[in-house]
Amino acid sequence: MIREADLEFVLKWASPHARGTAAEATRGSLVVRLGAKLLWGHRGAGIPWTWVDLLEHLTTAWVPLLVEEADPISLDVPPAHLWHAAQERWNTYQDYDKRDREERALLRFDRNHDLAQALAGASPPRIFLLRQGSTMLVAADGSFTARPSFSDVMTKLEELGDIIAGRLSSLSDERATSALAGWNARARVSEERFITLSTGIERDRVIEISKAVGVDDPWGLERLSPSLVPEATIERHHDSTTPQLCAARMLGPAAPVDVVSRVLTWIAGLSPTKTPALDEYGPRAIRELGSLITDRRAWVQGQRLASWARIKPGFAIADRVDPATLLQRLGVQIHEQDLGWDGVDAVACWGANKGPAILVNTAGRHAQGEEGRRSTLAHELCHLLIDRQETLPMAEVLGGRAPSSTEARASAFAAQLLLPLNVAGEALSNAKTRTDAQKVVRQLKQRYGASSQVVAWQAVRSDYRLKPPVLGWLQTLVPKLDLQSFLGSAEKARVR
């Protein structure tokens, strides 16, 4: 998709020879860069430290860095805002035990994902690393973020760890021996801990879900390693997740056990489907997205991608688009099921010999009825076109814990695919009163198969000037809280 600069580590030892204790042998200076951005160091000089500390930190954090893709208490905010958002939530709690549990979980998460916390007492700038599918979110200096390749970042961290470990290999120091042993076993993890870290679901619920699914391999772990009971090594960075784990993580820890088990059962029963048409259009859509790099607003990208899709021959020429027909032409399986819970609208699965397929939850809050189903399928179409190679390489849950900017882009894509901005804006710009607007909205809903909320959103976001009574009424159809479907975290902060 959009190629980001590589993360680079430059470590210089204070002495050419490793002697003395582990701390003495690993004294040196480290420069960290991301492209032209200097993250650690000053005017070419690195941070001086004893780098066995970083090796021990990487050992502890290795599996969390490989598999965790969301904070453990579902805050869904940028790393710089984690603790502020958590404090705002905790201020509303009466249950202090729950607050303590969440605080401990967030402390562990923050410690594992922030390289600066390896240097206790030094207080270097924060470098926060969090996996997002096939990319790694790198957040530093509060506002600086980038998304280089996940595999590339893990490879660079592994190379750095190996360099530090190499300085310890000739030492008899007890700390050196312990640090080496830990580094060599960094990817070993119990099955239950692996699932818990990957999904954010507590151990007892993991066991309960496993029993409820009723298949031999409910989490799809056999594709990672045939010896994953009771312990296994994650051999390759790209082999550290499965569609089942991705779906369970995005459903979130609050999802009922029976809902998670039904989704995992559905995924287990999927077979692979050849999708030559989807495989053709996907790279084209990704190239189109690359041309939008100058505008990183998720909703703008989504709208422009949908406008591009609407004019592609054989794709979506007609005024009224049928997302289900489009998906079927692209070879995507569509299933429906009442999951008995309205917290999720749909689950999409692809990769690892599964699908691509979409499960629409007919009980979903936004997927009920024909308009909601059409919007849901259009949303998933966006993910299938541009996200399955990068941010969401195996699965996606609409209503779940997918990255907010990715969801915002897909929701804006769905709205624009169903009803173009200029159509909604022009039609409602002629309305003078609320009554006029209500009539126009009904007409647009009937013609384009879009919900009142989508019609209102598209009209408000268009460049057309709307009469004050019309604008005021349309804004009531899209409450601020519902803007989460269209805006990323930074944009949501501006509408509060």
Question: What is the CATH number assigned to the segment(s) 276-417?
Answer: 1.10.10
* pLDDT reported for residue 233: 45
Q: Nearest Cα to 137, choosing from 371, 391, 468?
A: 391
* pLDDT reported for residue 147: 87
Mind listing the pLDDT tens digit for each residue in 284-320? 887 877 776 556 678 888 888 898 888 876 655 558 8
Residues of the chain short of pLDDT 50, as ranges, are: 1-3, 226-238, 481-496
The helix (H) or strand (E) run that includes residue 187 is none
* pLDDT reported for residue 401: 57
* pLDDT reported for residue 320: 87
* pLDDT reported for residue 236: 45
Chain position carrying tokens 């299933």: 335
Mind listing the pLDDT tens digit for each residue in 385-440? 887 766 555 555 655 556 677 888 899 999 999 999 999 999 999 999 999 999 99
Question: What is the number of other CB atoms lying within 10 angstroms of the CB of residue 63?
Answer: 20
* pLDDT reported for residue 495: 28
Q: Kindly report the pTM of this predicted structure.
A: 0.79
* pLDDT reported for residue 310: 85
Q: Which token pair is 308?
A: 């591009």
What DSSP state is assigned to residue 366? T
What DSSP state is assigned to residue 56? H
Task: List the chain domain ranges.
Answer: 7-184, 188-267, 276-417, 421-495
**Sequence letter at residue 451:** S
